[in-house]
Amino acid sequence: MDNNYNNDNNQQNMSTDPYAQGGGYVQDPYNNGGFQPQGSKGKAIASMVLGICAVVFGCCIWAWLGLILGAIAIVLGVMVIKNNEAGRGMAIAGLVCGIVGAATGIVSIILVAVVGNSLKEWAEELQNSALFIK
């Protein structure tokens, strides 16, 4: 009779003690069990990377590339935010960088068109002036 009492007591201790060794299911005290794995963050990562590249290329010689990459980053960022997918923070960063990159690309293209034309006229004036021997 004494043995049965001890066996019942040991089974109760095993079920409530998270560190108990035994055959029963013991819940991990460090894992809450309510965490559900989220979906893929591929679009959000792509939006952020393309947005950063758009900022870099938008202010350089390849302004047209910054404009294209910025547009793609904006589309991907809006898709992630609208569908409430995983990686919302990266999508917002990609959206902001895409907007900045596309705007910088547009401004750079306009500057090249305006300044490029005036530089062409200046070079023609220099060529016609006395500085160059004909």
> For 60-67, which contacts have Cβ atoms below 8 Å and span 24 or more sequence positions?
60/108, 63/104, 63/105, 63/106, 63/108, 63/109, 63/112, 64/105, 64/109, 65/105, 66/101, 66/102, 66/104, 66/105, 66/108, 67/101, 67/102, 67/105, 67/106, 67/109
Please report the pLDDT score of residue 68 as a whole number: 95
**Who has greater pLDDT, 134 or 107?**
107
Report the chain's mean pLDDT, rounded to a whole number.
79
Indicate the domain borders of the chain. Answer: 47-128
Please report the pLDDT score of residue 125 as a whole number: 81
Give residue-wise pLDDT tens across range 72-88.
999 999 999 999 999 99
Please report the pLDDT score of residue 33 as a whole number: 55
**pLDDT exceeds 50 at position 47:** yes
Q: What is the pTM of this model?
A: 0.62
